[in-house]
Structure 1
Amino acid sequence: MNSPDPLLDISNLSITFLSDGIKIPAVSGFSCRITQGTCTAIIGESGCGKSVVAHAILRLLPKNSLVEGEIIFKNLNIYRLNERTLQSIRGNEIGIMFQSPDRALNPIYRLYHQILGPLDIHKVVPVQESEAHIYKALRKAGFSDPEHSSRLYPCHCSGGMNQRAVTAIILSLEPDLVIADEPTKGLDRSRILDIQASLKEILHENRTLLLITHDIRLAHAIAHQIVVMYAGEIVEAGPVNAILSSPSHPYTRGLIQSLPENGFNPIPGCAPPLTSLPEGCRFADRCYQATKMCHKRPANLTHVNGRMIRCHRY
């Protein structure tokens, strides 16, 4: 994760939401470097902060948020850009695939016009080349008959087809970085495989992918690097194959052991509320290896054998 030329460089990012005088630390000290043409997956339980990080990259957080740290994209500090420059980056250079493609598409427009609209806004190709560009994007996204498919409305499409349509929109804009936020949430395995194929197509285009997911199998199938989050902070990060085959942090091991193919052994207990975080390690109350020190002092993120681990045992 220490590339000299990252496309996206997030350094010590902390995000706090302010609500009725209460401070909610959603993300604490998050750092990650992502290089061109690779996929980095952020995994963790719901509420761990992974989607908050995704939205922070495009400055899509609510007004009651306090952001500290830096997000550098192509040597530009996202939080120092004016709104006009930021608008030119959104969609054109950084694309985001929100949760639930069925709701991301406008039900009253055919797929053709759903792709044409962003193309026109960002001036990706000359007007006379738009039609061919749209058909090309649909074909890359898995539509065997793009001319016919372009005339469909979202209600005529399956969930997998709508996901491919969202992918076609992203491919047509040709962004350097694509953020996929929980693209498989609530889907059955057959639809997940459709989405997996769509995400791989983005990587085949030599684009960069940030995958936000709770689906460990999906992350294993397409990611190069993985970041494991718990209660707002990174607990382990590094090469995906190394971490998923030999996890070091007790939380990462617990996630893997909870998979159906590993016996479906869920981690006991639940994550602490962000409004009342423990004094020591945030995972200590659920950790079978916790010591007195774990409950009294937070663990630092330490570099060990090519990965980062937040645990007192390292």
Structure 2
Amino acid sequence: MTTTDRAATATPARVGGTRPLLAVDDLGVQFRLRDATVRAVGDLSLTVRAGELVAVVGESGCGKSVLAHALLGLLPRNATITGHAVLHHPGTEPVDLITCGQRELARTVRGQRVGLVPQSPATALNPVRTGRRLLAETLRAHGRDRAEADRLAVDVGLDPADLDRYPHELSGGMAQRLVTALALAPDPSLLIADEPTTGLDRPLVDHTLDLLRRRCDAGAAVVLITHDLAAARRVADSVAVMYASRIVEHREADTLYTAPAHPYASALLDALPDRAFRPVPGDPPMLTALPAGCAFAPRCPRRTDRCADRPSPTPVADGGTVACHHPIHAGAAP
């Protein structure tokens, strides 16, 4: 799907005044260790509307996967979560995913209203059940015909015959496609896909991305967590760039890739092979020792004394936000 095609089909995501399917407000996640505190997600706000595909990108360890697990209550006991994440599911009362409790998440949210494609399929699959049995059980649990298993396999690019294998008999890419099929089986209104193209060759990467795009074009929503910037540009309506636990820029995909405002977003794009192919200089800070000010300042050529204060997300003219005291493009921030 080309950029022009995406713009033509993705208009539901940009209809002003529509209620967001998911509204994340001031989300924070900390892990308490014996001698330190890991601040994995901080002050994060994000809105996802029906029909929209939002890509969350950034270097490894910035908090992308923690965000996904926090929304579904899948974090360990040493996690402390603050803020709100309200899910507006059609035909049901809104539910705050952060405060509703594990019982409600397990009974009415996970695998029903919200599906998850996990980053590590090997740990998500029952080793003593074939793929067909796993899919059949999932379909039956949600009132759907078990005969749909073969169709789901084809949808994700998996040979239906491979459903009769056990997880240990599947390659990494085949297991990835199976967990994608399992996440899609209940037909959730929101799908969180955490690195869903891991282990796939390029044609299957494109196949999976187009599948996610089609779901959004049919009215569902997708949060795509990925390190693949080219993949994000291919299908996303908007891109949220995370750095050191926070979203530093969130803009429409075409605008961000053409004219990034945050120096980190610009450096990340310059690392692409079809651009400068230049690595981002320096290293990100440890999440156990985040600075009080701008976390990117030590790596940023635009830093000044003002960067000792943490920048807040500021609206920009195109409707996105950027958290930077010195955005690259004049007029990017008021």
TM-score, normalised on structure 1?
Answer: 0.89
What is the correspondence of 1:1-314 to structure 2 with a 5 Å cutoff? Answer: 4-74=18-88, 75-88=94-107, 89-120=109-140, 122-125=141-144, 129-130=145-146, 132-143=147-158, 146=160, 148-185=161-198, 188-294=201-307, 296-305=308-317, 306-313=319-326, 314=333
Cα deviations across residues 18-45 of structure 1 (Å, max 9, x unaligned)?
1115222111110001011211111111
Structure 1 Cα separation of the partners of residues 197 and 180 of structure 2:
13
1:164/1:198 contact within 8 Å kept: no
SS of aligned partner of 2:98: helix
Query: Which structure 2 segments of 5+ residues have no match?
Result: 1-13, 89-93, 327-332
Decide whether aligned partners of structure 1 residues 52 and 3 sit closer, same or farther in structure 2, where only a CA change above 3 A counts: farther
> How far off its partner does 1:218 sit?
0.8
Structure 2 Cα separation of the partners of residues 239 and 284 of structure 1:
24
Cα deviations across residues 231-259 of structure 1 (Å, max 9, x unaligned)?
11111002111111110110000000001
Decide whether aligned partners of structure 1 residues 272 and 82 sit closer, same or farther in structure 2, where only a CA change above 3 A counts: closer
Structure 2 Cα separation of the partners of residues 210 and 3 of structure 1:
20
Q: Which amino acid aligns with 1:301?
A: P
> How far off its partner does 1:266 sit?
0.6
> How far off its partner does 1:273 sit?
1.2
SS of aligned partner of 2:61: coil
2:132/2:164 contact within 8 Å kept: yes
Identity of aligned residues (%): 37
Greater alpha carbon shift after TM alignment, 174-183 vs 77-86: 77-86
1:43/1:50 contact within 8 Å kept: yes
SS of aligned partner of 2:80: strand
Structure 2 Cα separation of the partners of residues 304 and 201 of structure 1:
29
2:54/2:240 contact within 8 Å kept: yes
1:55/1:61 contact within 8 Å kept: yes
Q: Which amino acid aligns with 2:279?
A: P
